[in-house]
Structure 1
């Protein structure tokens, strides 16, 4: 790269008409400018400039070299401007990993408006409930619903998650209302296989309960359908069953107990440095769409607050 710097110094000297003027433009002393010009001429094996105490002038070889150097430097400037413009604009294919149900309910329906805002983008959305290796599998980012531990990935919190114990009114009418964690042992509890324990925060603090039920599955959506069929009690996120809660098809049980409030919706990506515009605009889009009071919790304030009030009263 030093050769390009020498060529730029040479072009600046010719344009400015003197080494001292070129040095002032570039923040270099006349001695340094003179040294770099001599090095350039030595490397080329020819004299480029005729120097006198009053002025400088181009040799025949210098004139031809100057014309070509100006073209080269202009091409470099154009190339850098091209890359800078592309870095500032969202373009290309955005490859996203997201949980299956959340991606279907809260990402897929919003891709249309996002792509209209960013017409030079295409989206590859891969739905998988496993925590995929986003770097190894070539993803630009992943949406994760978890209490994130320390990792080499960068995470941005997009929205809070509220998870409640719930069941259908029919199930409660048939089996009764559980009021404590111990009561859950007498009920059908529904959970996907990886979810070994429900970690709850209640009037007496944190408690863990291992759900036992007649269904064994690796699919959260299967658990959801079993819950809606009236088979048992499940711990579900309001983003998943908000409409059913609002319509009364599901009811909150044991409202004084909630899952850990440290779980949230996060966007995770490999690095902050040189973050591509396509990643930045999508994360900003979701952050604005969801926010600290996400749309899926609208109309559920009385249910979410009742648990806090009951927990507070019981603790007193």
Structure 2
């Protein structure tokens, strides 16, 4: 044992005991380690994304997909604040000072960067109670005599014609101007509805609604994209939002069939 070690250790009843000098050294080292850990924690906290992110989202995607995942985002990024505007109106991100938008359809604004995250598809469905009371239509001709829930646009009632893949004017006993309302009417067994998969996915999975074999959905559906101003370096908080929800989309949104092949 060296002389320097002897300064910090002493024998005591056949064992080793720290000397007062050794205890002082240990306390100094421990304080230094505590200071390093505290400095690392402060540095990590300083790098953590923080601040406000203003988000615009198409109403169905916002209500049925974005909102249910905000709590998970908040747990991962507790210092990021969100302002969420859900509307089918296409906002001007630059003029209205939004940081990012979730849009359905093509994006042709050259000022914006687009990051595709999935596809927006629809399905024709009805409640099992409705189908038990009537036969299940298996062709477009089979829809004759069925109650088709219509979408209300102003004073016009419209329904999707799976034969022509167009919206047509009809007169139906039940109509509504939101997919959330049409979903509830369908769940209550009042008729057949064409609704976004995002809106009724859980209903289909638990058997509350049944998908009808009227539309093979051979098309890809409309793209769902995260868009943000082009040519501008994203702040840490906006990058955190974009990356988090892009990751969520890969696990939960319908993807391009061409990509999955």
Q: TM-score, normalised by structure 1?
A: 0.56
Change (3 A) 1:180 1:151: farther
Match 2:90 to one of 131, 134, 145:
131
Deviations along 1:45-92, one digit per CA (max 9) or x if unpaired, are: xxxxxxxxxxxxxxxxxxxxxxxxxxxxxxxxxxxxxxxxxxx86332
Instruction: Tell me the distance in 2 between the aligned counterparts of 1:272 and 1:211.
Output: 44
Alignment map for 1:97-246 (pairs within 5 Å)? 97-144=56-103, 146-152=104-110, 153-194=112-153, 196=158, 198=160, 200=162, 207-210=165-168, 212=170, 213-246=172-205
Equivalent-residue separation in structure 1 for 2:191 and 2:247 (angstroms): 36
Whose RCO is larger (CA < 8 A, sep 6+)? 2
Aligned counterpart, 1:286? 245
Query: What is the Cα deviation at residue 251 of structure 1?
Result: 0.8
Gap runs ≥5 in structure 1 = 1-87, 298-316
Structure 1 match to 2:9: none
Mean alpha-carbon deviation: is it higher for 216-225 or for 129-138?
129-138
SS at 2:230 equivalent: coil
Consecutive unaligned residues of structure 2, counting only runs of 5 or more, are 1-46, 255-261
Contact 2:55 2:99 in 1 (8 A): yes
TM-score (norm 2): 0.66
- Encode CA deviations 1:184-207: one digit per residue, 9 max, x unaligned: 34322224334956375x8xxx73
What is the Cα-based RMSD across aligned positions, in Å?
2.9
- Asked if 2 retains the 8 angstrom alpha-carbon contact of 1:178 and 1:184, the reply is yes
Asked whether the equivalents of residues 147 and 263 of structure 1 are also in contact (C-alpha less than 8 Å), the reply is yes
Q: Distance in 1 between matches of 2:161 and 2:235?
A: 37
* Match in the other structure for 1:45: none
Sort the Cα spacing of 1:183 and 1:272 in 2 relative to 1 into closer, same or farther, 3 A: farther
Q: Secondary structure at the match of 1:232?
A: coil
Q: Aligned equivalents of 1:98 and 1:143: distance in 2?
A: 5
- C-alpha distance 107-184 of structure 1, shift in aligned 2 (>3 A): same
Q: State the SS of the aligned residue for 1:189.
A: coil
Higher helix share: 1
Return the structure number with greater strand share.
2
Q: How far, CA to CA, are the matches of 2:161 and 2:114 in structure 1? A: 23
Distance of 2:169 and 2:191 partners within structure 1 = 11
Residues 85-123 of structure 1: CA deviation (Å, up to 9, x unaligned): xxx863321001123343233222322332333333211
Q: How many residues align?
A: 204
Say if 2:107 and 2:114, in contact at 8 Å, map to a contact too: no
